[in-house]
Amino acid sequence: MSGWKAKRFWTEASVVAAPKGFTVHLDGRPVKTPAKTALIVPSRALAEAICDEWQAQDDEIRPHTMPVTRSANSALDKVATQRAEVAALIAEYGATDLLCYRAKTPDELVVRQAEAWDPLLDWAAVELDAPLQATAGVMHHDQPEPALAALAGRVAGFTDFGLAALHDLVGITGSLVLGLAVTRGRLDAAAAWDLSRIDEEWQIAQWGEDEEARETARIRRAALLDAERFWQLLNRG
């Protein structure tokens, strides 16, 4: 038996001013999150993007085509209800940041990582007050506590909606430094993706890539770009 699919039940989606932000109405009825929270977002640009996603739905509602709505739902239903836990989860990436774990061999890969990642660690030391140390190999290497505390403080300064974006920027790349660099305009998400994929691309060059891995990478890259767009809409006003 085929599964139940939600059907479009409205004619027009519209942006409406709300207390502390903006919301979206479907034929005059306010949109709610899956947890039945009022979908109120802090910027009009974010509300307009959500409105466009709802208006673009055909007969059936396809959540996978609504990344801005999904991120807003996460901010309200998940981050807002467990903010400390989410912030701590994101901050923990600083202790095992991808950019700090380097290959021992071959020399070409070692050089490629250093040329790509060292400038970001230098940037983090100056701009984030977080001098992290790189190490060769995959064994855990303790980072300076003041650096980790500085990174945790940066994360804690994000709003609930900002944390929703940062969660994906960091989780997909495996790097808190890369995630913060995107939010600060040091990198765009496409560049962050490429930087996070140096090891994988090296292996692909040596051994090739199967279709499943290629498709997984495509989906993850698209999600990273969606997270960047959510961040930009959030801060556009």
- What is the DSSP pairing of strand 21-26 with strand 29-30? antiparallel
Strand partners, 7: 60
Q: Which CATH number fits domain 83-234: 1.10.3580.10, 3.40.630.30, 1.10.1740.10, 1.10.10.60?
A: 1.10.3580.10
pLDDT for the residue 5: 57
Q: What is the pLDDT of residue 1?
A: 34
SS3 assignment, position 237 = coil
Q: In the chain, where does the domain assigned CATH 1.10.3580.10 lie?
A: 83-234
CB-CB neighbours of 215 under 10 Å: 10
CA dist 173 → 23, 60, 81, 144, 178 (Å) = 31, 32, 25, 22, 7
pTM of the model: 0.94
Q: How far apart are the C-alpha atoms of 101 and 103, rounded to whole Å? A: 7
Alpha carbons 82 and 219: distance in angstroms, whole number: 27
Quick count: other Cβ atoms within 10 Å of Cβ 205? 10
Question: Please, are residues 168 and 162 in contact by the beta-carbon 8 Å criterion?
Answer: no
Phi, psi of 22 (to 5 degrees): -140, 150
Q: Where in the chain do CATH 3.30.2180.10 domains reside?
A: 13-69
SS3 of 143, please? coil
Listed as ranges, residues in the chain with pLDDT below 50 are 1-4
> What is the third-level CATH fold of 13-69?
ATP12-like (3.30.2180)
User: Burial of 135 by CB count in 10 Å (0-12 exposed, 13-18 middle, 19+ buried)?
Assistant: middle
> What pLDDT is recorded for position 4?
41
Contacts of 5 (CB under 8 A, 6+ apart): 60, 61
Residue 10 is predicted with a pLDDT of 82
Look at the block and give the residue holding tokens 């502390």. Answer: 20
Task: Kindly calculate the radius of gyration of the chain based on its CA atoms and give it in whole angstroms.
Answer: 20
